[in-house]
Amino acid sequence: MSERPGSTVNVRTTVVRDGVANDKTDRVATEEPLEIRIARGPDEALPLAVTMRTPGHDFELAVGLLVSEGVLRSADDVLEVRYCIEGEQLYNVVTVHVRSSVELDRHHLARNLTMTSACGICGKASLDAIEATNAPKIDGGPSVGSDVIAALPDRLREAQRIFDRTGGLHAAGVADATGELLHVREDVGRHNAVDKIVGALYMEHALPASERVLVVSGRASFEIMQKAASAGIPIVVAVGAPSSLAVDVAKSFNMTLAGFVREGGFNIYAGKERIA
């Protein structure tokens, strides 16, 4: 079954301008729950997480989350991804069917996968949580010009189709060393947008993405850096500020992190050798 559309909905709103009120129809970003399950071989599907997300690219979201958690390590681990049709749960439950050889640490997954659209994976409190996924330190990576880095947020903003209609979504994009955006994903959750990017790369057999740059429309948080590290992405560019843990992740995994990126300049918090 193909993925469902439905990224925006119409709502009635009252617009007040200069003290004058007028009723009109507005478009807002859709926010709905998605339950992610995993089935290994003939095993019954195991519920992993429920996240609030913007519908669209749900399969990428589910797969990207499993890559970030270190469950999927090989390009052929996934056999099938499909929606589970259960009464009123149409299009809001996705099961990732994986090979029976895929190892599942149920205790680790149950502890870490407590999610909302706002906070990402809230159970993680230290770098130990990333090390448990066995993500390697990132060697090499492209050399990217400072002008390319500075231009990425504007390029991402120009590609935000749903944001133009609603004004209410985060975005993530993956680019090559010249600044060409290869994928752009939007979601009410910034971490969901990154998972969709990681899932898209996994499904293209393009991981580790050692020659790519991740750009995000907001701040650089711990979970965003974790997801980039799990995907082998060496450079992360953020429009906003990084957190202290985001900087720690970048340094620990030999990544490049740039924040407050806009036309005219940016701050480099780690890995300046990759920026020409």
Residue pair 183/194 in contact by the 8 Å Cβ criterion:
no
Sheet strands (E) in the chain: 8-17, 20-29, 32-40, 46-53, 78-83, 93-98, 115-116, 120-121, 170-175, 181-187, 213-216, 235-238, 256-262, 265-270
Q: From 58, 30, 32, select the one nearest 166 (Cα to Cα).
A: 30
119 is an active site residue: yes
Q: Of the residues 9, 119, 122, 276, which is catalytic?
A: 119
Report the distance separating Cα 44 and Cα 48, nearest Å: 12
Residue with tokens 């290994």: 40
Residue with tokens 């492209």: 142
Q: 133 vs 85, 182, 226, CA distance in Å?
A: 31, 26, 10
b/e per residue, 106-120, with b = 16+ CB within 10 A?
eebbeebbebebeeb
**Which one-letter DSSP state was computed for residue 272?**
G
**Which one-letter DSSP state was computed for residue 91?**
T
Q: 273 vs 103, 191, 260, CA distance in Å?
A: 36, 27, 18
Report the distance separating Cα 181 and Cα 184, nearest Å: 7
Q: From 10, 104, 93, 89, select the one nearest 51 (Cα to Cα).
A: 93
Q: Which residues are catalytic?
A: 119
